[in-house]
Amino acid sequence: MGKDIKDFNICFDNMISSDNQDIYRKIEKEMNIVVSEADYQSISLLSSEQKVTFDKILNRVFLGNQGCFFIDSPGSTGKTFLYKALLAAIRSKNYIALATTTFEVAASILPGGHTSHSCFKIPIDVDTYKSCNIGKQTGLANLLRTVKLFIWDEAPMAKRENIEALNDMLKNINESELLFGGKIVVLGGDFQQIPPVIPKRTKYDSINASLVNSELRKSFEKQS
């Protein structure tokens, strides 16, 4: 069953102008993502290890506490299954959860998935423009302030500046100096896989550009 956009605590004063129609439609789309029966049933099929992580993240979400979790495990070990369970649990409660990935192919696997670049307006030339193109008073900022959970899969394959830009943007729009502006963020991936691709650079440059060398990593709560 669809949800009414008025059921969500979002300020629309600056959102119905012609410039913000796309954002309005995006909000409606996020609020009306249908949770499939298979995704909802995945909650009861989590392994004991996955259930520990699932419960820990959801407790933070519903208690309104901050937290950044990193799901560190190789491919085909159940990360996507866990993401789908988290998304189903939150969306079934009429909350908004954003599912993003570094690459478009991976985004298509997650229900309502987006690429992180498109969702957070991260510039392609992040070395020159180090901030997300989202103003504090925009409709998209209003949407992001209501999000209960952010998921970013394949995070180790993104440049660390991309994730640092997300951190800075969420701090700005939420007017908070807490990590990621006090929001709940789940990053996932495998540091043993391919690091960010840096054209015409050395292997050292790729490693240096990776999340593994970001100061943010010290604040992550690692989950296997």
When pLDDT is cut at 50, 70 and 90, the band that residue 43 belongs to is very high
Q: Per-residue pLDDT for 12 more than 50?
A: no
Strand 184-189 relative to strand 67-72, pairing? parallel
Query: Of 82, 68, 76, whose CA–CA distance to 187 is shortest?
Result: 68
Give pTM, 2 decimals: 0.84
Domains of the chain: 9-223 (3.40.50.300)
Specify which residues 150 forms β-bridges with: 98, 185
Classify the phi-psi angles of 77: left when phi > 0, otherwise alpha if psi is within -120 to 50, otherwise beta: alpha
Place of tokens 């909350």: 95
Token pair, residue 120, equals 């957070």
When pLDDT is cut at 50, 70 and 90, the band that residue 1 belongs to is very low
Angle at 163 between CA 98 and CA 13, to 5 degrees: 50
Among 74-83, 167-176, 199-208, the least confident range? 199-208
Task: Indicate the burial class of 139 (C-beta count within 10 angstroms; 0-12, 13-18, 19 or more).
Answer: buried
Q: Per-residue pLDDT for 174 more than 70?
A: yes
Segment 102-106 mean pLDDT: 83
3-class SS string, 59-105: HHHHHCCCEEEEEECCCCCCHHHHHHHHHHHHHCCCCCEEEEECCHH
Percent of the chain's residues with pLDDT above 70: 81
pLDDT at 222: 76
Q: What tens digit of pLDDT does each residue of 48-102 get?
A: 999 999 999 999 999 988 999 999 876 667 899 999 999 999 999 989 999 999 8
Task: Indicate the burial class of 222 (C-beta count within 10 angstroms; 0-12, 13-18, 19 or more).
Answer: exposed
Q: What tens digit of pLDDT does each residue of 126-167 get?
A: 666 678 989 898 888 988 999 999 999 999 888 889 999 999
